[in-house]
Amino acid sequence: MPYQAPVREYQFIFDQIVPLAPVVANECFSEATQDLTDAVLNECGKMCEEVMAPLQRPGDMHPAKLENGVVRTSPGFADGYAAIAEGGWVGISALPTHGGMGLPLALNTAMHDMMCGACISLNLCPLLSQGQIEALEHHATEELQNLYLPKLISGEWTGTMNLTEPQAGSDVGALTSKAELQADGTYKISGQKIFITWGEHDVAENICHLVLARLPDGKSGPKGISLFLVPKFIPNADGSLGVRNDLRCVSLEHKLGIHGSPTAVMEFSGATGWLVGQEHNGMACMFTMMNNARLAVGMQGVGVAEGAYQHALAYAMDRKQGRAMIADGTGAIIDHADVRRMLAQMKSEIFAARAIGVACAVAIDMTKATGDADWRARAALLTPITKSFGSDTGVAVADLGVQIHGGMGFVEETAAAQYLRDVRITPIYEGTNGIQAMDLVARKMMDGGAAAFALMDEMVTLASASSSKLAVAVLASIVELRSTTEWLLTQELNDRFAGAVAYQKAFARVLGGYFHLVAAMSGKGKRVRMATIYINSLLPEYMALCAQARSGAGDLYALELDDFAA
């Protein structure tokens, strides 16, 4: 079965689960009427199905290659990227001032979901450009904005994010890249960066790198880091390309998956760069793009999960094997109870993760539209949950997709394994899911749990409007989540960290149950049936997860180093 973009699913979510109407009611998003939203979803879906999905397998089988200092991308990727750029998709949420559409991030979120279901390797290119656009909109000088943003928004140029170094992974403050101020106000940037997604390629004429580096007077650690814009070709004042800058791709990583996405090791050898934001404030500038990138990575997981599910469903409806214990079945393996269990789990998990992601995007949109502190807190709270649950769902669903294929899933010819290989990076991208969990129980609880409790109160209000067994189960889960949150707030930080991943998963489980309940309350039969599967079979995991979240760090640190020996 060819990939089908989940357009109708998003129309349902925007209408009844996480309404887009409150976002559109604000002046800055007033153009995002239902007619426009439907048109955007349909056009994006069409491009994903017709242009991007056919590139999924070629990108895996014919990876990007570095040849004589030039990166050659996978067959068809240049044309695929051109379609993305020409369709205006890079600038869907960028400010109209420099050519963007100015549409809500919620629509951008739907776009990334659909693009990743079609071809995650190609989607990564515009995703990084969008992050750079956002950072420049917030922090760059007017001169830099006027020169770079129109080209980035149009897709003529692409953007990257350069954080990681060989000795500095998640501990970005340990970087050693250097920046030196020049007489003309530019800076010379020197150092090596690794894991740079789409750091070098042949699909656009210029590549603009956002690079973290330290000035000579910069303090050690993250507070002494500055952010610089370092283009591959230094543009002239009119936007035309000038001389080649002193940077190069020295190698491409050989990866488990996303083979069509060139992941570069970049060497900067006194390359010319321009300061973005204030000196020594680079991490704050970079986080402007990283926070929304975390939402996008969560939706990458959801998108790949959708692709894996559709692939597995098609196989299950076609594969004849064994005899199911039901009358008048299809004769295919979808008749078997265990296969049906796996498919139902996949579909219900995707809906839960997708709804959580949209809720996060809407909170970010409402923050932008209103400046309201409560919306800001809601967005901050949902960001780590969205990133972790979306990416974990991608891995779990893709893994089940392989299982449904049986032995055929373990061979590359069926392409089931590609989804699992591709999506496995998402729990690592943009801060590992363990780091997300630590952020949730620490920084996001600095308000005494106010944002978390406010969200729980809203959930209780809606769930209490129903007397169904599903609502009773959801209410019980919220009560336990609240109790666990209250317990966490009384603990030392390391005891919180020990149970942080479990707490994060419990929160997502409860949110998923809540959104499924909302869907069931719409009265649509298929929504009720899928909500019943999730709430009866998957939601009960919250009890074990909450117990694990309360376990503390004592048992972990009672272990001696010899206990870990092989």
Closest by Cα among 227, 230, 226, 208 to 149 = 208
Query: Is 91:133 a contact under the CB 8 Å cutoff?
Result: yes
For 377, phi and psi rounded to 5 degrees?
-65, -40
**Radius of gyration, CA atoms only, the chain:** 24
Query: Under DSSP, is residue 51 helix (H, G, I), strand (E, B) or coil?
Result: helix
471 with 530, same domain?
Answer: yes
- The C-alpha atoms of residue 566 and residue 564 are separated, in whole angstroms, by 6
For 536, phi and psi rounded to 5 degrees?
-80, -35
Number of domains present in the structure of the chain: 3
Query: Is 417:259 a contact under the CB 8 Å cutoff?
Result: no
169 with 269, same domain?
Answer: yes
Secondary element (H or E) of residue 125:
helix 105-139
551 with 403, same domain?
Answer: yes
Catalytic choice (86, 349, 430, 480): 430
Q: Which two tokens stand for residue 215?
A: 């000035």
What CATH number should be reported for the domain holding residue 438?
Answer: 1.20.140.10
Query: Is 350:305 a contact under the CB 8 Å cutoff?
Result: yes
Domain of 209 in residue numbering reads as 157-284
88 with 166, same domain?
Answer: no
What CATH number should be reported for the domain holding residue 122?
Answer: 1.10.540.10
Instruction: Report yes or no on 1 lying in a domain.
Output: no
Q: Which two tokens stand for residue 487?
A: 């317990």
Q: Which of the residues in the chain have pLDDT under 50?
A: none
pLDDT in the model for residue 322? 85
Strands 206-214, 157-162: pairing is: parallel
- The C-alpha atoms of residue 357 and residue 12 are separated, in whole angstroms, by 14
For 560, phi and psi rounded to 5 degrees?
-95, 160
Instruction: Report yes or no on 334 lying in a domain.
Output: yes
In the annotation, is 31 catalytic?
no
Closest by Cα among 349, 342, 392, 295 to 513 = 349
Instruction: Give the chain's length.
Output: 566
**Cα 265 → chain centroid:** 22
User: What string of H, E and C letters represents the secondary structure of 256-323?
Assistant: CCCCCCCEEEEEEEEEEEEEECCCCCHHHHHHHHHHHHHHHHHHHHHHHHHHHHHHHHHHHHHCECCC
- The C-alpha atoms of residue 438 and residue 449 are separated, in whole angstroms, by 14
What CATH number should be reported for the domain holding residue 234?
Answer: 2.40.110.20
Closest by Cα among 153, 116, 124 to 3 = 116
303 with 423, same domain?
Answer: yes
Phi/psi zone of residue 276: left (φ > 0), alpha (ψ -120 to 50 degrees), beta? beta
Cα dihedral across residues 171, 176, 182, 184: positive or negative:
negative
- The C-alpha atoms of residue 83 and residue 196 are separated, in whole angstroms, by 23
Query: Is 322:410 a contact under the CB 8 Å cutoff?
Result: no
Closest by Cα among 429, 386, 423 to 169 = 429
For 539, phi and psi rounded to 5 degrees?
-55, -40
Domain boundary pick from 249, 284, 319 = 284
Q: Looking at residue 361, what DSSP letter applies?
A: H
Query: Is 301:398 a contact under the CB 8 Å cutoff?
Result: no
Q: Which two tokens stand for residue 408?
A: 């055929």
200 with 257, same domain?
Answer: yes
51 with 83, same domain?
Answer: yes
Instruction: Report yes or no on 563 lying in a domain.
Output: no
84 with 167, same domain?
Answer: no
403 with 434, same domain?
Answer: yes
Q: Which two tokens stand for residue 186?
A: 């530019």
- The C-alpha atoms of residue 510 and residue 251 are separated, in whole angstroms, by 44
**Cα 362 → chain centroid:** 15
296 with 309, same domain?
Answer: yes
pLDDT in the model for residue 371? 96
Instruction: Report yes or no on 140 lying in a domain.
Output: yes
385 with 488, same domain?
Answer: yes
346 with 465, same domain?
Answer: yes
Domain boundary pick from 109, 132, 152 = 152
